[in-house]
Amino acid sequence: MLVIPEIKPNQSIDLLKALHILTRDGKLNQDSRRKLKQVYHLYQFIEPLLASVGDNVSLVDHGAGKSYLGFILYDLFFKQRTDNAHVYGIETRAELVSKSQVLAQELAFASMSFLNLSVADSITSPLLPAQVDIVTALHACDTATDDAIRFGLEKQAKHLVLVPCCQAEVATELRKGKAQALAAGALAEMWRHPIHTREMGSHLTNVLRCLQLEAHGYQVTVTELVGWEHSMKNELIIASQKNLPGKKAAQRLHELLIMFGLTALAGRFTTPH
């Protein structure tokens, strides 16, 4: 039996080869070793959330792509379970969905489903349960992360794990109102230059997302995915439903939308009435 110190016990070698983490002859090169380290680093954040749910845990991975995350989670946590635990991968590219379906069948990962849906459409799809336990969205581009949050809220998710990416919508709104904001005061200097507009838009988007989740009673932790050296999109948002008071967070969110001239986006960052 092939033994590689970096690989966890009982990890499927066939899966790691299929995901190109291991070479065909079962070895790790420098790039795949880094990739494996990244996957395991993310798993250490998600595994306690999975364990906290108990039996029949359901996880929905949005913007799944090649479903690296879903397959690794299944291999490390779900495959040894005997209950009705299930992993769903949501992806808009039909060819990636088909490949994932084939791989799951080859590996006998029976409690995995892959659906060719947008994040927004998945909210009302009858192919998904009315309530889910954990929602993940890693590098789901632009507003897909917001759609994943809305999905989690609609499905009463216990936990959300988000690594946002390509946040252009808020930056676009900041750009539209830049001249007016500059005339009104010095605050707009924070996003006067185009690169600052993009960075400010990205940062502000995530602040608004955190406040939205807090307004819905979630406890939110924001940290860095240490070890993801290949990506500048390195912010990890973890939200756990604690039914906390959310009135102050909702008020702060509303105030920020007004302060930065973003009231046109109020419908995206919804809070409880």
Q: What are the tens digits of pLDDT across the range 229-247?
A: 445 567 899 999 999 999 9
Look up the pTM and report it: 0.91
The CA distance from 35 to 55, in Å, is 30
Determine contact, residues 45/73, Cβ cutoff 8 Å: no
Q: Which of 126-130, 135-139, 148-152 has the lowest mean pLDDT?
A: 135-139
pLDDT, tens only, 107-136: 999 999 999 999 889 999 999 999 999 999
Tokens of 195: 């690169």
Tokens of 251: 């008020």
Determine contact, residues 161/236, Cβ cutoff 8 Å: yes
Region 164-168: what's the mean pLDDT? Answer: 78
42 — pLDDT class (breaks 50, 70, 90): confident
Type of residue at 68: Y
The CA distance from 13 to 107, in Å, is 10
**Predicted pLDDT of residue 5:** 57
Region 3-32: what's the mean pLDDT? Answer: 79
**Predicted pLDDT of residue 142:** 66
What fold, for 56-265?
A: Rossmann fold (3.40.50)
Per the DSSP assignment, residues forming a β-bridge with 236 are: 223
**Predicted pLDDT of residue 1:** 43
Tokens of 270: 């919804």
Determine contact, residues 125/117, Cβ cutoff 8 Å: yes
Per the DSSP assignment, residues forming a β-bridge with 62 are: 90, 137
The CA distance from 77 to 254, in Å, is 40
Q: What percent of the chain has pLDDT over 90?
A: 59
Region 27-48: what's the mean pLDDT? Answer: 82
Average pLDDT over the chain, rounded to an integer: 89
What is the helix, strand, coil percentage profile of the chain, to 5? Answer: 45, 15, 35
Three-state SS for 163?
A: strand
pLDDT, tens only, 184-226: 889 889 989 999 999 999 899 999 999 999 999 999 999 987 6
